[in-house]
Structure 1
Amino acid sequence: MPYKKTELKFNGKINTCEIGAGDAAISIGGENTLLFLGDEGFKPAVGIAITDSPEDWSDCFTDIFGDDLKNPAAWAKAAVEKSGADFLLVKLASADPNGANNSVENCVATVVAVEGAINVPLVVEGCKNAEKDAKLLEEVAKALEGKNVVLFSAVEDNYKTIGAAGGMAYGQKVSAESSVDINLAKQLNILLTQLGVKSKDIIMDVGSAAVGYGFEYVASTMDRIRLAGLGQNDESLQMPIITNISGESWGVKEAVSTLEDAPEWGDQEARGIGMEVATAAACVVGGSNAIIVRHPESAKTIKSLIAGLIG
């Protein structure tokens, strides 16, 4: 019996969000059905992550990038070249007040250098301290005005500052971070739009987990968000989803344990890549419009997966 494809029809549509500027710009979102089940032509973007403080990263990244790890701009350029990524994320981990407490000025200079070294859109992640990130991402938005970067991410404690500076004053995109909960994601989107940020300038970061570590909550949350946005035409849940799984994947025991600690598990680098690819693949088929990984081989594998699914 010949296969007949049945396509679900929805009333809603995911917003199209453009990131980057000029020839480097890309669009994410825009689908009116569940990913890979329609012929709308949209596909998830794959990003590569770097940081200004890689001390806790696996030794394999030193083998890959060498001395470039000491220079974020050089590292960014190499990461894009080696991975073929669609965009790059730089995490300003050194800004953490409970760590190096690097100054806002120094971190902004790092971001400006990174942006100048790459030819793909840029996502800028803070240090996960809400107060410091508010100041930091505001200054990043100002310094990169016109570059259409993504400020990753606004939370309930700092969305007013990041939303006003990023999505309004300096024309950047704002990532709204919630913790694997459809109601929290919706609430933050509403707060940002009520503040004055346009829906088309908001991307959702709904949280993640490595596969095998509570990922079923991520999967169900993504499903509910997508079905609400598409099936119920809920405009407060029609923003594209961006998911950074690099830290989650490389932070679990399967990726952290050395070959000496767990010889029966085989090569440590291969395990890290495996965890990252499995997690990224699950996020992509679950509805994430932009996925961020750490290893160049992970990026290549996920890009190949997406190309194969699209056909």
Structure 2
Amino acid sequence: MTTATIIGARRSTGRAARESGLSRGAAMLIMAVFTVYFLLPLWWLLVAASKDNSDILTTAPLWFADVKFFDNIVDLFAYRDGVYLKWMLNSVLYAALGGAIATLLAAMAGYALAKYRFPGRNALFDIVLGGVLVPATALALPLFLIFSQANLTNTFWSVFLPSIVSPFGVYLARIFAASSVPDELLEASRLDGAGEIRTFFTVSIRLMTPALVTMFLFQFVAIWNNFFLPMIMLRSEELFPVVYGLYNWNNQLNQLPELRGLVLIGALLSVIPLIITFLLLQRFWRNGLGAGALK
């Protein structure tokens, strides 16, 4: 190897290292900008929720003033005999129970579409895909007409029953079951004498854990943030989810300015269940993905 070749190779290596450093720096800068962009509203909410009503509009919006965070929480829980706690409980029931049932139904439907051959299977899956493309707001009015005919409007069931249907969950379950549940494993289970239901709940569902966690998280967040359906279906304040309840309080700020602080602290506390859910389920998600990669 000549001296010129060695010098050229060193220059190329140095140039590649500089380009790699610049690319890494640019990527870090972009991630930092987007991190600030996403966390800034949450920081503002935390700061605003810690202030007294008189300080919210008169002090620096991004820094603390006279901190009364826990006093605001006490006022929130005591307002109107603790109606906020009822809203939080309603949201937990709607989101947790509805998300769990929706995940189970979607997993069974997607698994059946992936692993069983029957007439109309592809047509049925196409219908499911069509359901994925239809926005939930477009279905709110037809659902209201259906539930009004059944005298179920302004009830728990009018919000809960539509929440247990997840076309996207069915789609995701079919894709994941087709790729992660081997047909040979199912045949071995059947040869051992296990029925189809037992095979699904003891073998297949374990291999589908990452998809199940993903479906539950999507459905939980969608139900928790659901606004339009409760607005159409519900009239009794005791049945409101927390998102719609806070919206109603926010609409009353002109008549009741003292609600401003309660809306802010209530909005902050309403985010906590979502954070807790993600933190509790992320290890199952990670473990399931790792197990699938090893298999």
TM-score range, shorter chain: under 0.3
Q: Which has the larger radius of gyration?
A: 2
Query: Relative CO higher for 1 or 2, CA cutoff 8 Å, sep ≥ 6?
Result: 2
TM-score by structure 2 length? 0.22
TM-score by structure 1 length? 0.22
**Which is richer in helix?**
2
